[in-house]
Amino acid sequence: MFAKIFNFKFNGVAEAKVAASFISDAFGKLIVSNNMRSLNISIGKCGSLSIQTKFENSDDLKIFEGRAAEVFRDLKETMIYKEDTFAGVYIFNYEAEAIKAEVSAN
């Protein structure tokens, strides 16, 4: 499993919330077309924003990186932030399924 992690630092939580909304909308539209396996976006109380993505293969990751760059170009034109990104390979990952297994009949 391949990953791309984006870390941003904004001046405050309000700016991070606006950026998270913008990125959620833009990246949400890329999930299917980029074969994205996972997308997690979180905001820290100090104005930090973290985005974690997962892909089955490196080709999907490379295509996504180009499309993500377009999203971040738009963001850079409107907001000031510090950015740190890296690509990697997941060595260990655990996620419990977020489904309810019960079925109730009325």
* Domain count for the chain: 1
In a domain, 40, yes or no: yes
The pLDDT assigned to 10 comes to 95
The DSSP call for residue 34 is T
The model carries a pTM of: 0.79
The pLDDT assigned to 99 comes to 63
The pLDDT assigned to 101 comes to 62
Say if CB 95 and CB 8 are below 8 A apart: no
In a domain, 29, yes or no: yes
Domain with 36 in it: 2-89
The pLDDT assigned to 87 comes to 81
CATH for 58: 3.30.70.100
Burial of 53 (0-12, 13-18, 19+ CB in 10 A): buried
In a domain, 83, yes or no: yes
In a domain, 99, yes or no: no
Residues 85, 50: Cα–Cα separation, whole Å:
10
In a domain, 79, yes or no: yes
In a domain, 94, yes or no: no
**64 pLDDT higher than 70:** yes
Q: Considering only CA atoms, which of 63, 42, 59 is closest in space to residue 51?
A: 42
Distance (Å) of CA 11 to CA 44, 46, 94, 97: 12, 8, 32, 35
Residues 62, 77: Cα–Cα separation, whole Å:
23
The pLDDT assigned to 7 comes to 94
**65 pLDDT higher than 70:** yes
pLDDT in tens, 12-36: 999 999 999 999 999 999 999 999 9
